Amino acid sequence: MSSTNQYSMRDPTTQYPRPPFEEQPQHAPGLAKDMKPRPDHGEDSYVGFGRLKGRKALITGGDSGIGRAVAIAFAREGADVVINYLHEEEEDAQEVLKIMRESGVSAHAMPGDIKEEAFCEKLIATAVKEMDGLDILVNVAGKQTWQDSVLDITTEQFDATFKTNVYALFWLCKAVIPHLPRGATIINTASIQAYDQSPILGDYAPTKSAIVGFTKVLAKQLASQGIRVNAVAPGPIWTPLQPSGGQPQKKVIEFGSNIPLGRPGQPAELASIYVFLASQESSFVTAEVFGVTGGHPLP
């Protein structure tokens, strides 16, 4: 690990690469290992302090992007972790599993498609079995496909986006709740798109509004059971989601240029907030949505 960590004071405008970037089309879901420049998931910088010691977490989308940064941080904070991802992302996933195991925690992989209800149920049951319990669910997996017009969004695309972003969240939460002890936490991943919709994200943006609504309902329902539920709403983050159909390539080139910090965020810059929301440090925080946007604030 380098001598620079998440606490080293730096200028946030130049801390990470700024646009312009290269065109770099990939097929969805895309791989972090093929991005130029490679995203920073905290591999060489995140330092843990036992903030999640003994905790047991399932992270969807844990192979790349925000999910990978969360997985690395959770492992370094002492949590056992199961990650879910799609089979075609195995190469990315193996890198994360290796890094997590170096922290001395148990790290398991369970690839599979969360668009299937039966798989979501199996994922929770397997995670509970692998770790002998589960007390943190982090829903990070998501699908984003740009289209100029809603007339270009097929029913198949609309269905796949809602299944991945909304139905899976519902199925995973439903399956996990009976297993959660008091003190457990659920963290969902919304987006600035829940509040400030891009016209080319006609199916994706509404899924993110649904995630905000579902997070608040669930938090209010589960409060009396001692279970907290929050969401993180990222702005533009440098991950495979964007060049693999999330944005047109001309927008990938200038990604992050239109926000006050003038660059996209890196996955590593999201990790600490997930750690905070997962841990007991945030004991009085529930039903909240936290923006990590580079200066494009939530309303």
Q: Is 138 in the site for ligand NAD (CB under 6 A)?
A: no
Q: Is 242 in the site for ligand NAD (CB under 6 A)?
A: yes
CA dihedral over 201, 287, 128, 65, signed as positive or negative: positive
Which one of Mg ion, ligand NAD, none is in contact with 66 (Cβ closer than 5 to 8 A by kind)? Answer: ligand NAD
Q: Is 293 in the site for ligand NAD (CB under 6 A)?
A: no
In this chain, which of 191, 266, 272, 279 binds ligand NAD, going by CB under 6 A?
Answer: 191
Q: Is 147 in the site for Mg ion (CB under 5 A)?
A: no
Q: Is 80 in the site for Mg ion (CB under 5 A)?
A: no
Nearer to Mg ion, 29 or 42 (CB): 29
Stretch that binds ligand NAD, among 8-16, 123-131, 138-146, 215-223 (CB under 6 A): 138-146
CA dist 218 → 156, 169, 175, 177 (Å):
28, 11, 13, 10
Q: What phi and psi values does residue 3 have, to the nearest 5 degrees?
A: -80, -10
Sequence-ordered alpha helix ranges (H) in the chain: 65-76, 90-101, 117-131, 155-162, 168-176, 204-222, 249-253, 268-278
SS3 246: helix
Stretch that binds ligand NAD, among 63-71, 170-178, 216-224, 276-284 (CB under 6 A): 63-71
Catalytic status, residue 16: no
Query: If you compute the radius of gyration of the chain from its CA atoms, what whole number of angstroms results?
Result: 18
Q: Is 230 in the site for ligand NAD (CB under 6 A)?
A: no
In this chain, which of 46, 85, 146, 171 binds ligand NAD, going by CB under 6 A?
Answer: 85
Residues 6+ apart with CB under 8 A from 47: 1, 5, 6, 7, 76
DSSP of 155-215, one letter per residue?
A: HHHHHHHHIIIIIHHHHHHHHHGGGPPTT-EEEEE--GGGTS--TT-TTHHHHHHHHHHHH
CB of 263 to ligand NAD, least distance (A): 12
Stretch that binds ligand NAD, among 19-27, 102-110, 236-244, 279-287 (CB under 6 A): 236-244
Q: What phi and psi values does residue 290 have, to the nearest 5 degrees?
A: -105, 120
Q: With contact defined as beta carbons under 8 Å apart, do 135 and 55 qualify?
A: yes
Stretch that binds Mg ion, among 5-13, 24-32, 176-184, 265-273 (CB under 5 A): 24-32
Report how far residue 3's alpha carbon sits from residue 215's, in angstroms, rounded to the nearest whole number: 37
> Any bridge partners for residue 84, and if so which?
60
Q: Is 291 in the site for ligand NAD (CB under 6 A)?
A: no
Nearer to ligand NAD, 130 or 203 (CB): 203
Q: Which residues are catalytic?
A: 204
Which positions touch ligand NAD (CB under 6 A)? 29-30, 60-61, 63-67, 84-86, 89, 113-115, 140-144, 164, 189, 191, 234, 236-237, 239-242
The residues that touch Mg ion, with contacts defined as CB under 5 A, are: 29, 63-64, 89
